[in-house]
Amino acid sequence: MPGNNLTIKSKIICPHGGQAILFTKNTKVFADGTPVLLETDIHPVAGCPFTVGTKYSPCVRIEWSAGGEKVTVNGTAVLVKTSIGKCINAEGATQGIATIVNTQIKVSSR
Report which of 108, 107, 105, 100 is spatially closest to residue 69, judged by C-alpha positions: 108
pLDDT confidence of residue 65: 96
Domain residue ranges of the chain, discontinuous segments joined by +: 3-109
For residue 106, is pLDDT > 80?
A: no
pLDDT confidence of residue 103: 76
Bridge partners, residue 52, by sequence: 55
pLDDT in tens, 5-57: 999 999 999 999 999 999 999 999 998 889 999 999 999 999 999 999 999 99
Going by pLDDT thresholds of 50, 70 and 90, the confidence category of residue 110 is very low
For the chain, the residue count is: 110
CATH T-level fold of 3-109: Tumour Suppressor Smad4 (2.60.200)
**pTM greater than the 0.85 cutoff:** yes
Concatenated DSSP letters for the chain?
Answer: --EEBPBTT-EEE-TTSPEE----S--S-EETTEEBPBTT--EEEE----EETTEE--EEEEEEE---SS-EETTEEBPBTT-EEEEEETTS-EEEE-EEEE--SS-EE-
pLDDT in tens, 55-96: 999 999 999 999 988 888 999 999 999 999 999 999 999 999
- Alpha-carbon gap, residue 73 to 107, rounded angstroms: 15
Going by pLDDT thresholds of 50, 70 and 90, the confidence category of residue 102 is confident
